C-alpha cells in the first residue's frame, strides 16, 4: 500500500506539468485561431521542406514525401549512438528501421542493442484548414540505452530507458504564429515494453519556426506506462523535452536536444543533452 505522502509525491509533479502546458499553449491556441489566414496564404507561408515526422521523441501526423528517405542519427547519454532509416513509399505510407548501441562514443567496448527495431506509419486523414492530420503507426524504437539486466528478485529488465511508442495515433494541426509556421501535436500510444506497467499513455508537443532556418521544439510525454512506484526508471513526472533545430539546407538539420528536464528517470543527476543530425533526400 502506498502511503499518502508517497501518493502526493507522485501526483504533485503531474499537477505542475499540467499547469505548465496549460499556461504555455492556451495563448498559442488562441493566437492560432485568430491568425490562421485563408488556405492559399497559409500554403504560401510554409517553408518548402519535408513535414516534421516527430517533435523530438514523440510522433506527429507528418509524413515523408513519396519517393524519399531520411537518415536520422542521434546521440544519447553514456556515449550511445542510434541510427534510423525511413522510406516514404507512398504519400500516406512510410516504413523504417532503427538500430543503436551504448558506449559507442567512448573508449570502451560498445554494447549493442539486441536487434533491429521497426517503424511503420500510415496517414488516415489529410490536414485541412479546420481539421488536423491524423496518422497511425507503430515504432519499437525506444530511447536511451537498452537494459536487459537482472533484478534483485531474479526477474529481468527488457526495455529501453525511455519506452518505445509502440502502437500510436498522432494528430497535427499547423498554423501561423506571428506569421511564422508552427504546429500543435498530440496523441496516444500503447507500448509493447510492458515491464511492470502496461498502461496506455499520451503525449503533446509544439514546434515553431524562429527564422527561415531555425526551429524551436517542445514535447511532454505523460509516460503513464512508466510511473509505478516499484518501476525501474519512471518517477511519475513524465518526460519534458525541448530542442533547437538548425536547418543547414531544406533537407539537412542539426538539432540540440535537452531531454528529461523533470528528471523523471531514477538515478538521473542532470538533464540529458543530446545531438541529432537528420538528412532527407529523394530517389529521383
Which residues lie closer than 8 Å to 261 by C-beta, 6 or more apart? 240, 241, 242, 271
Residue 147 C-alpha from the chain's centroid: 20
Q: What pLDDT does residue 211 have?
A: 81
Q: What is the pLDDT of residues 202-253, one digit of tens each?
A: 999 999 999 879 999 999 999 999 988 766 788 889 999 999 999 999 899 9
CB 174 within 8 A of CB 183: yes
Q: Counting Cβ atoms within 10 Å, is residue 281 exposed (0-12), middle (13-18) or buried (19+)?
A: exposed
Query: Across residues 162-190, what is the average pLDDT?
Result: 95
Q: How far apart are CA 81 and CA 84, in angstroms?
A: 10
Between 262 and 29, the higher pLDDT residue: 262
Q: Which residue has the higher pLDDT, 96 or 6?
A: 96
Q: Work out the average pLDDT over 45-53.
A: 70
CA nearest to 121, candidates 184, 24, 173, 189: 189
pLDDT higher than threshold 70 for residue 161:
yes
Q: Which three cell numbers stand for residue 37?
A: 489566414
Question: Tens of pLDDT along 1-46?
Answer: 444 444 444 455 554 555 444 444 444 444 444 444 445 444 444 4
Q: Is the model more confident about 165 or about 44?
A: 165
Identify the pLDDT of residue 234.
81
Looking at residue 95, its pLDDT comes to 98
Predicted confidence (pLDDT) at residue 266 exceeds the cutoff of 90: no
Where is pLDDT greater, at 57 or 157?
Answer: 57
Q: Mean pLDDT over all residues of the chain? A: 85
Q: Residue 231: its pLDDT value, please?
A: 67
Closest CA to 153 of 75, 230, 50, 45: 230
pLDDT at 129: 87
Mean pLDDT in residue range 91-104: 96
Asked if 133 and 172 touch (Cβ cutoff 8 Å), the reply is yes
Task: State whether residue 239 is helix, strand or coil.
Answer: strand
Q: What whole-number percentage of the chain has pLDDT above 90?
A: 64
Among the ranges 134-138, 156-160, 173-177, which has the highest mean pLDDT value? 134-138
Residue 284 has pLDDT above 50, yes or no: yes
Residue 256, pLDDT above cutoff 80: yes
Nearest to 113 by CA among 161, 151, 61: 161
pLDDT value at residue 235? 83
Task: Tell me the three cell numbers of residue 57.
Answer: 521523441
Residue 205 CB partners (closer than 8 Å, separation 6+): 55, 56, 58, 60, 184, 185, 186, 217, 218, 219, 220
- Cell numbers standing for residue 230: 516499484
Tell me the pTM. 0.83
Among the listed ranges 52-56, 66-70, 93-97, 191-195, which one has the minimum average pLDDT value?
191-195
User: Residue 120's beta-bridge partner residues?
Assistant: 95, 138
In angstroms, the first-to-last Cα distance of the chain is: 61
* Strand duo 143-147 + 159-162: pairing: antiparallel
The CA-CA-CA angle for residues 236, 240, 242, to 5°, reads 170
Distance set, CA 165 to CA 49, 75, 118, 230 (Å):
25, 19, 11, 21
pLDDT attached to residue 230: 63
State mean pLDDT over 141-153: 87
Please give the domain boundaries of the chain with CATH numbers for all domains: 4-282 (2.40.160.40)
Percent of the chain with pLDDT over 70: 82
CA distance linking residue 207 with residue 56, whole number of Å: 10
Mean pLDDT, residues 119-148 taken together: 95
Amino acid at each position: 500500500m502506498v502511503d499518502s505522502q508517497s501518493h502526493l509525491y507522485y501526483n504533485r509533479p503531474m499537477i505542475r506539468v499540467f499547469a505548465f502546458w496549460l499556461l504555455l499553449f492556451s495563448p498559442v491556441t488562441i493566437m492560432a485561431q485568430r491568425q490562421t489566414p485563408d488556405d492559399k496564404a497559409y500554403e504560401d507561408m510554409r517553408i518548402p521542406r519535408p513535414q516534421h515526422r516527430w517533435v523530438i521523441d514523440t510522433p506527429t501526423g507528418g509524413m515523408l514525401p513519396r519517393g524519399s528517405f531520411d537518415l536520422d542519427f542521434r546521440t544519447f547519454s553514456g556515449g550511445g549512438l542510434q541510427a534510423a532509416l525511413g522510406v516514404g513509399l507512398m504519400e500516406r505510407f512510410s516504413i523504417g528501421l532503427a538500430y543503436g548501441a551504448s558506449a559507442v562514443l567512448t573508449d570502451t567496448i560498445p554494447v549493442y542493442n539486441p536487434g533491429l527495431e521497426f517503424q511503420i506509419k500510415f496517414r488516415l486523414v489529410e490536414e485541412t484548414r479546420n481539421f488536423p492530420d491524423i496518422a497511425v503507426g507503430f515504432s519499437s524504437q525506444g530511447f536511451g540505452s537498452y537494459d536487459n539486466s537482472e533484478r534483485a528478485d531474479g526477474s529481468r529488465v527488457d526495455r529501453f530507458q525511455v519506452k518505445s511508442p509502440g502502437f500510436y495515433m498522432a494528430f497535427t494541426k499547423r498554423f501561423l504564429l506571428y506569421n511564422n509556421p508552427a504546429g500543435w501535436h498530440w496523441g496516444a500510444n500503447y507500448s509493447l515494453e510492458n515491464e511492470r506497467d502496461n498502461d496506455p499513455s499520451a503525449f503533446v508537443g509544439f514546434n515553431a519556426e524562429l527564422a527561415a532556418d531555425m526551429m524551436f521544439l517542445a514535447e511532454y510525454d505523460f509516460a503513464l506506462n512508466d510511473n509505478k512506484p516499484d518501476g525501474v526508471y519512471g518517477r511519475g513526472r513524465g518526460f519534458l523535452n525541448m530542442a533547437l533545430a538548425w536547418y543547414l539546407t531544406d533537407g539537412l538539420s542539426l538539432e540540440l536536444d535537452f531531454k528529461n528536464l523533470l528528471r523523471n528517470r531514477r538515478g538521473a543527476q542532470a538533464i540529458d543533452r543530446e545531438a541529432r543530425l537528420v538528412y532527407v533526400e529523394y530517389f529521383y
